[in-house]
Amino acid sequence: MFASGNLRSPLGRARGLGSAKEGLHHWWAQRLTSLALIPLTLWFVAGVIHLALGGEPYESFMAWIANPCTATLMILFLGVSFHHAQLGVQVVLEDYVSCHAWRTGLTIVTKFTCYGFATLGIVSTLICCFGG
Amino acid sequence: MANAAKPTIRPLSPHLQVYRLPLAAVLSITHRITGVGLTLGMLVLIWWLTSAAYGPDAYDQAMTYIASPLGLVVLLGFSLALFFHLSNGIRHLLWDAGRNFEIGATKRGNVFVIISTLVLTAAAWLLALV
């Protein structure tokens, strides 16, 4: 069944569905984003929780977000967490959705949605900083 | 054929529906569930930021929903999920580094993750309300 020195079956070779050689990059990207998210998440919760729960007015939020360091960390948090989220949801879809068409379709929808919302959050942050 | 009548005790396959999951397995699937939940919860953050970009009226309206009882329950769930995913995620990074695979270390890790989730969530809400 297997040619010597080649562990792939003839059917596997004919279909061309071998490793896409991108698994390592996905794995590494998920680990790097999670590492970055440890400090970013702690900063995010510490910064946001007063504004979200303390009944602070609009002006307090605008003064907070307009700080260059706050805006930078918020944009980093949005970009990194949505990147991490779409990598994670992709793995969940690959594990639980067996139909190839559904799996591919949902993965594409996930990636488009995550990057769309990340961009919306980043643009909103910038508008709050520079004035609309 | 002398042994034909002797009953043989074989291990049964641990099927999900008849198998009580060990705590580590419960925490493992919880990591995935909280991950998907947090992805959805991030939409609340985007809504909040976008409302601020639209101006004070939109921001106040969003804050009315966020500060409502239902909003607070969602935020409590989000914070629990966030701190669980953070704590268990750090454990995953240690596993990726090849550490804490022994049964004793894994069991201690289970307890650490649960305590860390509760302590961090309580600390965050105390910080907000003080």
Cα separation of A94 and A103, whole Å? 7
- Domains of chain B by start residue, with CATH: 39-129 (1.20.1300.10)
Q: How many CA atoms lie within 13 A of A50 on its CB side?
A: 11
Q: How many CA atoms lie within 13 A of A74 on its CB side?
A: 26
Cα separation of A76 and A36, whole Å? 9
The answer to whether A49 and B83 are in contact (CB under 8 A) is no
Cβ pair A53:B129 closer than 8 A:
yes
Which residue in this structure is represented by tokens 């639980």?
Answer: A96
Number of structural domains found in chain A: 1
CA–CA–CA angle A44, A71, B47 (5° rounding): 65
The answer to whether A63 and A106 are in contact (CB under 8 A) is no
The answer to whether B82 and B118 are in contact (CB under 8 A) is no
Residue with more model confidence, B124 or A5? B124
Out of B32, B49, B125, the one facing A121 most closely (by C-beta) is: B49
CA–CA–CA angle A121, A123, A127 (5° rounding): 115
The answer to whether A62 and A68 are in contact (CB under 8 A) is no
A20-24, A43-47, B102-106, B119-123 — which is least confidently predicted?
A: A20-24
This model of the complex carries an ipTM of 0.86
Residue A17 lies in a domain: no
A31-35, B69-73, B84-88, B126-130 — which is least confidently predicted?
A: B126-130
Q: Does the pLDDT of residue A132 top 70, yes or no?
A: no
Residue A34 lies in a domain: yes
Interchain CB contact of B129 with A (< 8 Å): yes
Residue A66 lies in a domain: yes
A interface with B, Cβ–Cβ < 8 A, is 31, 34-35, 37-38, 41, 45-46, 49-50, 52-55, 58, 61-62, 65, 74, 78, 81-82, 85, 88-89, 92, 114, 117, 120-121, 123-125, 127-128, 132
The answer to whether A50 and B128 are in contact (CB under 8 A) is yes
- Phi, psi at residue B46, to the nearest 5°? -65, -40
Residue A105 lies in a domain: yes
Region A106-129: mean pLDDT is 97
Cβ pair A52:B66 closer than 8 A:
yes
Question: Considering only CA atoms, which of A37, A78, A59, A46 is closest in space to residue B45?
Answer: A78
The answer to whether B71 and B65 are in contact (CB under 8 A) is yes
- Phi, psi at residue A109, to the nearest 5°? -60, -45
Out of B53, B59, B89, the one facing A132 most closely (by C-beta) is: B53
- Boundaries of domain holding A86: 25-130
Q: Does the pLDDT of residue B130 top 80, yes or no?
A: no
Region A31-42: mean pLDDT is 97
Residue A6 lies in a domain: no
The CATH number that applies at residue A92 is 1.20.1300.10
